[in-house]
Amino acid sequence: MKINFNSKELESFDYIGDNHIGTSADTPIRKDAFRLNADEKIEIIRDDVKHIMETLGLDLSDDSLMGTPNRVAKMFVNEIFSGLDPKNKPKASTFENKYKYGEMLVEKNITVYSTCEHHLLPIVGRAHVAYISNGTVVGLSKMNRIVDYYAKRPQVQERLTIQIVKELQKVLNCEDVACIIDAKHLCVNSRGIRDIESSTVTGEFGGQFKNKDIRREFIDYIKLETKF
């Protein structure tokens, strides 16, 4: 079904996208998002990408371009947007904190590869995640996997930061979770203002991390130089 927008609506959409304004703390997913299976989605997206490329004037009979629609479709469904499918959500088992570690635990420099939902261009950076155990701990790699899961969907950085914290709060059954993300947005770096030096920093702080001293300790941990 084709939807027509008037000029004022289009201007509003451009304003939101060009200024990178998020409209919801939850990823906007339709109720029928999983009516189609992965193969069916790939088939439809492949045709759509083919149409885009042909509209741009590209010759898809060329050996280099012939497989691009299929590669892009598989990449969208199976890789960079795989975090849209709840079946891919990592299982984060928790364990009793038997060693009674009561200080902050920080997993820093977690690689973030995401996609800006306004222009479908990459967001690349680092996430730093911390929590203070209330009797339960989670495997270190699960923190990385949670970041990766929520990053693999069209995103705004503020939402991504909030989703990571909320998920870990749910897993750990405690409020004392924090996340800071520092990332470059190619929609800023490669188009529009084309500022290749700037990056975006966001933070979400729950429970004890709202205390400025605890928050400062977290930031100091992030600043520590890692040596091997």
Q: What gap in Å lies between CA 78 and CA 74, rounded to an integer?
A: 6
Domain boundaries, the chain: 32-80, 94-223
> Does domain 94-223 sit in CATH 3.30.1130.10?
yes
- 108, 221 contact by CB (below 8 A): yes
Which overall architecture, per CATH, does domain 32-80 show?
Orthogonal Bundle (1.10)
Q: Could you list the active site residues? A: 116-119, 157, 185, 187
Per-residue pLDDT of the chain (228 residues; tens, 9 = 90+): 555 656 655 555 455 555 556 567 899 999 999 999 999 999 999 999 999 999 999 999 999 999 999 999 999 999 999 999 999 999 988 999 888 888 999 999 999 999 999 999 999 999 999 999 999 999 999 999 999 999 999 999 999 999 999 999 999 999 999 999 999 999 888 888 888 889 999 999 999 999 999 999 999 999 998 877
Q: What's the pTM value of the predicted model, to 2 decimals?
A: 0.88
